[in-house]
Amino acid sequence: MHNLFSMTCADLENWLRLSHGKGAFHAKALYHEVMGRGNRDFALHPAFEKSQKLALAVEGSLDVPEARIVETAGTDDSFKFVTALDDGLRIESVILTMESHETLCLSTQVGCRMGCAFCETGTMGLIRNLQPEEMVLQVMAARYQLQRPVRNVVYMGMGEPMDNLDAVLKAVEILSDQRGLNIPLRRQTLSTVGLVPGFKRLASMESMRPLHLSLSLNAASDDLRSELMPVNRAFPLALLKKTLAEYPLPSGGAILLAYVLIPGVNDSREDAMALADFAEGLPVRINLIPYNPGTCGRWPATEDKDIHRFGALLYEKGLFVRKRWSRGREVMAGCGQLGGRPEKDSKEKQEAT
């Protein structure tokens, strides 16, 4: 059984041609109906209405899954949903309500092996990579099952996207397909802890140029960053800076530097000055994010006044700073709070016993 969510419209066209002797006309109709309009019952589309035999044959060989949403929690500006996958593992996604639109923060792995000290997902270790269709499923669920007008996507949920780059790039391509979900690359942001080979690979792909990148920096001295983010030992700051400086951005483009502000850890004046030094000469914007303690947090939550204070120090150095206020904390949907419970869903548990 082929999964529609693993395909672009062109992939579907190839598959239809090979397996059912049909081509672009039926592919476009089916793809637009399901991926563009959220109607899983494509057999009623005029293109298939006249040939129910074909519709039945396609239905029998093409999986159009529906997300099994097993938990939701939300506030006015932040809504988390948990999806049970076919193997019973769970992933979490968050819809953030912005001023003019909604953004989906989606997961790319079950767990994560990067082990960042401030992150709940990191405590799980890596359980497995997600397939492209499992990333697309999160968008389909948000748009059509939960009826949320998701316009932007950030690969910033559970997992390190560059640690599963083949699958993530396929998902980027599928989400951007104009005949389907139509979320252009400029509305997709890939977040990374700074896996330099991933940057190099993206840099070599002309087609990925409009994709936004966000580097999760969180400290601008190697000692502190290695303590917070073990990956820094493999890819230290000098190498990261060189990589960012050489990255071929589109004209006027910038890379986001995400900085989770942890009280008493990386929020001093010296930390701000080190961050300003790192950013100097780079095409970057800084995104200040409050620390969310989660269930096993080592530090207290960041207060909005600390974000103001730290942001002001960066403004003084002429940096462009975007601040994210503490949202979603109450429902464990804040940054760094996803996951931490590598359990299978109860139905699977019962089946397994």
CB of 158 to ligand SF4, least distance (A): 6
Cα separation, 292 vs 344, in Å, equals 25
Which is it for the CA torsion 266, 272, 275, 277, positive or negative? negative
Instruction: Decide: residue 236, CB within 10 A, 0-12 exposed, 13-18 middle, 19+ buried.
Output: middle
Span near ligand SF4 by CB under 6 A; candidates 81-89, 107-115, 170-178, 303-311 = 107-115
Q: Which is nearer to ligand SF4, 122 or 180 (CB)?
A: 122
Per CB under 6 A, 114 contacts ligand SF4: yes
Q: Which is nearer to ligand SF4, 27 or 289 (CB)?
A: 289
Q: Per CB under 6 A, does 172 bind ligand SF4?
A: no
Does position 159 bind ligand SF4 by CB under 6 A? yes
Angle ∠(313,316,318) on CA atoms, nearest 5: 120
Considering only 160, 267, 306, 345, the residue that binds ligand SF4 (CB under 6 A) is 160
The piece of 14-22, 109-117, 141-149, 246-254 that touches ligand SF4 (CB under 6 A) is 109-117
Burial category of 140 from C-beta neighbours within 10 Å (exposed 0-12, middle 13-18, buried 19 and up): buried
Across the chain, the runs of DSSP E, i.e. the strands, are 2-3, 62-63, 68-74, 78-84, 90-97, 102-105, 109-112, 125-129, 150-155, 188-192, 212-216, 255-261, 284-290, 321-323
CB atoms within 10 A of CB 279: 23
Is 116 a binding residue for ligand SF4 by CB under 6 A? The answer is yes
Please give the distance of CA 315 from its chain centroid, rounded to a whole number: 28
The answer to whether residues 108 and 188 touch, using CB atoms and an 8 Å cutoff, is: no
Whose Cβ is closer to ligand SF4: residue 180's or residue 198's?
198
In the set 122, 180, 198, 290, which binds ligand SF4 (CB under 6 A)? 122
Determine the interface stretch with ligand SF4 among 73-81, 95-103, 136-144, 155-163 (rule: CB under 6 A): 155-163
Site for ligand SF4 in 235-274 (CB under 6 A): none
**Residues 89 and 320 sit within 8 Å (Cβ to Cβ):** no
Interface with ligand SF4, residue 154, by CB under 6 A: no
Nearer to ligand SF4, 65 or 115 (CB): 115
Of residues 90, 104, 246, the one with CA closest to residue 175: 104
Question: Taking CB under 6 A as the rule, does residue 333 contact ligand SF4?
Answer: no
DSSP at 270: H
Binding segment (CB under 6 A) for ligand SF4, from list 15-23, 34-42, 136-144, 154-162:
154-162
The only residue of 30, 112, 257, 265 in contact with ligand SF4, by rule CB under 6 A: 112
Least Å distance, CB 157 to ligand SF4, is 8
N-to-C CA span, the chain? 28
Q: For residue 8, give the 3-state DSSP assignment.
A: coil
Contact between 137 and 103 under an 8 Å Cβ cutoff? The reply is no
Q: CB-wise, 105 or 114, nearer to ligand SF4?
A: 114
Whether 101 and 166 have beta carbons less than 8 Å apart is answered as no
String marking each residue 175-204 x if it binds ligand SF4 according to CB under 6 A: ------------------x-----------
Give the one residue of 30, 85, 94, 119 binding ligand SF4; rule: CB under 6 A. 119
User: Between 63 and 343, whose beta carbon lies closer to ligand SF4?
Assistant: 343
Nearer to ligand SF4, 225 or 241 (CB): 225
Catalytic (active site) residue 335: yes
Burial profile 169-185: b = 16 or more Cβ within 10 angstroms, e = fewer: bbbbbbbbbebbbebeb
| Helix (H/G/I), strand (E/B), else coil: 57 | helix
Span of 24-32, 112-120, 201-209, 288-296 interacting with ligand SF4 by CB under 6 A? 112-120
**Site residues for ligand SF4 per CB under 6 A:** 112, 114-116, 119, 121-122, 158-160, 193, 336
Residues marked active site are found at: 335
